[in-house]
Homo-oligomer: A and B are copies of this chain.
């Protein structure tokens, strides 16, 4: 089979699929035709190049390749379709953030960080959207579900893996003195000479609190 034909077929497959197609699926499909993985990879690269200056582009996401509207055309497409995209509440986004960064996680664990209960609707919405899934059930009384993110979450954010997500902020490091003040350090030595800004601040703080 000629490479040009292979390219055409892969193109047709990608355009007619409702979900991304993986390299492996394409390879399996051409198995009978005895087409090397190298030829397939080359073909995909060439298709990618072909669409460089088009209204659509070939994109690699977590579960394979898919065509999507090219970056500079998204604005026009959104203009063509007047329906507003779904907006998600802050509560939902915070819940999602916790599931992303602390997975596997239970609802109780989410609640303990957020300080409020998580409504069932939020979990339901995330599950229906297929951004999260139940990974299993924790072996404690009540058998709470353990949640994690899905490949669909990555796909719907143009991501290949979770490592592409922004890193969590580090907790602000406390100074030695602050730690001691907060009882987070076990040292009992007090640096008597410390009369710097920190001390002043703490003293000020103490005064504020004592009155």
Contact = CB atoms under 8 A, between A and B. Distances in A.
Residue of A11, A14, A15, A69 with most partner-chain B CB within 10 A: A15
A10 interface: yes
B13 A53 contact: no
Nearest to A8: B55
Interface in A40-77: 53-56, 67, 69-70, 72-73, 76-77
A16 B77 contact: yes
B72 A15 contact: no
User: How many copies of this chain?
Assistant: 2
Given A15-B55, A15-B56, A67-B15, A73 B29 contact: no
Given A15-B69, A69-B15, A8 B53 contact: yes
Interface in A60-112: 67, 69-70, 72-73, 76-77, 79-81
A9 interface: yes
A156 B69 CA distance: 25
Nearest to A81: B16
Interface of A: 4, 7-16, 29, 53-56, 67, 69-70, 72-73, 76-77, 79-81
Given A12-B70, A12-B73, 9 more contacts: A4-B53, A8-B54, A9-B55, A12-B77, A13-B55, A13-B77, A15-B15, A15-B69, A16-B77
